[in-house]
Each structure stands twice: as C-alpha cells, then as structure tokens.
C-alpha cells in the first residue's frame, strides 16, 4: 500500500498485482454470487519477525539490540501501540467468509491498527 523505506519493489509489485487481480475476479464473477476480497495485514507479531537472515537475527539487521527492542519500536509506530496477532487477521477472514459480509466484494480490508494512516519506517 505504501513504501516503507526498504527495497521491496518485487514484493510490492506482487502485492499490488494480487489486490487488482482479486478485484478483477470479484467483478467478473459477482453475478454468480462469488465474492473475492483481500485482507491486508500490517505489523503482525509472528515468528517471522524473529527469524534469522543470512545467519543473523532480523532485529540486528534492522539495527536493534534485541527482539524486545525491535518489537517495542514496531509497537511505537502503530496508533493502537501494539502489533496485531494472527487472531486479528483470522477474525477479519472469518468475517469475510461469513454471511455477515454477503454484500462485500472487490475490496481490501486492512488489519493494521491504523498504521497505514501514518508514516512509520520501522
């Protein structure tokens, strides 16, 4: 949805392509009752942020001294002051899969604690 000051052109192109692909499929099949939407997670607290890259801890590559310091910095840029969880993303998906969202198609739902309305760089 926006640049985060890291070289992720291929990742961004793939995500943008998937969003537009989903919208196109949704419109193409809406008359058949098929709904297609995308869930866009923001900063989510998962083992992915604790991974090693080239044998080095991710937090170290990002310029932090510990996982806790890295997590705290991520939390600080989020208006809700916390990273989301897998459950936050799952509940959005469950909503979209439910009858309560029967009139929602060709859209994206951002699950990010308000972060895309700001300009973080962590």
Q: What is the pLDDT of residues 30-56, one digit of tens each?
A: 999 999 999 999 999 999 889 999 999
Phi, then psi, of 49 in degrees rounded to 5: -75, -10
- Please say if 91 is a catalytic residue: no
- The C-alpha atoms of residue 122 and residue 109 are separated, in whole angstroms, by 22
Query: Does some domain include residue 101?
Result: yes
Query: Does some domain include residue 62?
Result: no
Q: What is the pTM of this model?
A: 0.88
Tell me the residue range of the domain where 107 lies: 9-45+80-117
Confidence class of residue 119 from pLDDT cuts 50, 70 and 90? low
For the stretch 68-91, pLDDT in tens is 999 999 999 899 999 999 999 999
Query: Does some domain include residue 31?
Result: yes
- The C-alpha atoms of residue 100 and residue 72 are separated, in whole angstroms, by 35
Q: Per DSSP, what are the bridge partners of residue 108?
A: 38
Percent of the chain past pLDDT 70, that is, above it, reads: 95
Only one residue has tokens 């919208």, namely 23
Query: Does some domain include residue 112?
Result: yes
Query: Does some domain include residue 19?
Result: yes
Query: Does some domain include residue 38?
Result: yes
Looking at residue 30, which CATH number applies to its domain?
A: 3.40.50.720
Confidence (pLDDT) at 49: 87
Query: Does some domain include residue 102?
Result: yes
Query: Does some domain include residue 52?
Result: no
**What is the chain's Cα-based Rg?**
17
Count of domains in the chain? 1
């Amino acid at each position: 949805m926006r640049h985060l000051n890291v070289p992720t052109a291929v990742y961004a192109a793939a995500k943008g392509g998937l969003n537009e692909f989903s919208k196109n499929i949704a419109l193409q099949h809406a008359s058949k009752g098929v709904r297609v939407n995308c869930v866009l997670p923001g900063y989510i607290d998962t083992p992915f942020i604790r991974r090693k890259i080239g044998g080095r801890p991710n937090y170290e590559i990002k310029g932090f001294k510990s996982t806790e310091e890295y997590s705290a910095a991520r939390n600080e840029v989020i208006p809700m002051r916390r990273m989301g969880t897998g459950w936050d993303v799952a509940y959005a998906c469950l909503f979209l899969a439910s009858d309560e969202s029967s009139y929602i198609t060709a859209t994206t739902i951002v699950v990010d604690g308000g972060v895309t309305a700001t300009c973080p760089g962590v």
